[in-house]
Amino acid sequence: MPLKIMDIDRIMEEHAPARFKESYDNVGLMIGDKSSEVTSILISLDCTLNVIEEAKRKKCNLILTHHPLLFKKPNNITTDTLLGKKIIEIIKSEINVYSSHTNLDSVAGGINDIIMQLLGFNNYKTIELSDARRDNDFSTGIGRIAVLEEPIMLSDVCDRIKQSLGIPLLRYSGNDIKKVKKVAVINGSGQGYFNAAIRLGADCIITGDTTYHYVSDLLEEGIPVIDAGHFGTEWPAMKILAKWLKNTLEDMGFNNPVHISELNKNPYKYK
């Protein structure tokens, strides 16, 4: 039997159940037909116009993203807005779009876990457990905090991040020679979890999308913040997710190609 969108929906739901999404989030099939057959799959962090064109060129009728295309309910769908242009082009091109966001951040084997493993932080636990977890589940939730085997200098933590996540530049606060023992990691925009990380004893926080006052206040408290970027703290994990999905499909007897987007880029440039 051919692979269908409903099969992808079932696979992703088993891996990252929608009940684990945050209350503000929107996940699952954004646009499409669950009964349609899948040709090829394109994995991307975002569903940009360039990614839509890439999907068309590579004959992918499914774009699987981390960030939801429909995060908030649109007031209209017209070519006057960027979102409207995307939706109209997706429908015209008979492309399906599926997003797995904060639920994929939260679960075991999800984005946060993958980033911890890439960084070599193995002895970790969850910062804020999900309200939707079962009583015996002590891992599902947002953010991870790790106790290092041996303290390392802040400058060495920065170097490890750049090497492990393939990030050429990052910004950070704190004394380069400060010894770090307990590290919190919140992929993407993690400022809302800073206080929870500090309560758990974090003496360094790694995340993306930080703002001045948060970092300034923590600097006064002696807690370094490493901003490795929203893209930088999520895209490496999505590339690994693509390999996982490909292997999962092959184990099920499907040979549909799974492509990693070549046009999903960090919007920031550095000089």
CATH for 91: 3.40.1390.30
Judge if 127 and 78 occupy the same domain.
no
Mean pLDDT to the nearest integer, 137-141: 96
Residue 50 lies in a domain: yes
Residue 265 lies in a domain: no
Query: Known binder of ligand: residue 66?
Result: yes
Judge if 176 and 193 occupy the same domain.
yes
Judge if 246 and 186 occupy the same domain.
no
Q: Which amino acid is at 115?
A: I
Mean pLDDT to the nearest integer, 213-233: 97
Judge if 48 and 90 occupy the same domain.
yes
Q: Would you say 40 and 59 are in contact if contact means Cβ atoms under 8 Å apart?
A: yes
How many structural domains is the chain composed of? Answer: 2
Judge if 132 and 213 occupy the same domain.
yes
The pLDDT score that the predictor gives to residue 16 is 98
Query: Known binder of ligand: residue 80?
Result: no
Q: Would you say 260 and 50 are in contact if contact means Cβ atoms under 8 Å apart?
A: no
Residue 55 lies in a domain: yes
Residue 267 lies in a domain: no
Judge if 128 and 169 occupy the same domain.
yes
Query: Known binder of ligand: residue 105?
Result: yes
Alpha helix (H) residue ranges in the chain = 5-15, 49-57, 82-92, 102-106, 111-119, 154-165, 194-199, 212-220, 235-251
Judge if 113 and 215 occupy the same domain.
yes
| pLDDT for residue 154 is more than 90 | yes
Mean pLDDT to the nearest integer, 80-95: 98
Task: Return the closest-CA partner of residue 200 out of 248, 131, 129, 119.
Answer: 129
Structure tokens at 131: 């309200």
The pLDDT score that the predictor gives to residue 24 is 95
pLDDT band at residue 197 using 50, 70 and 90 as cut-offs: very high
pLDDT band at residue 72 using 50, 70 and 90 as cut-offs: confident
Mean pLDDT to the nearest integer, 136-148: 97
| pLDDT for residue 270 is more than 90 | no
Query: Known binder of ligand: residue 230?
Result: yes
Model pTM? 0.96
Judge if 131 and 117 occupy the same domain.
yes
Residue 271 lies in a domain: no
Residue 243 lies in a domain: yes
Range of 71's domain?
5-103+235-259
Judge if 196 and 252 occupy the same domain.
no
Query: Known binder of ligand: residue 213?
Result: no
Residues contacting 261, CB < 8 A, separation 6+: 42, 43, 44, 45, 51, 54
Dist CA 44 CA 231 (whole Å): 11
Judge if 97 and 141 occupy the same domain.
no
pLDDT band at residue 271 using 50, 70 and 90 as cut-offs: confident
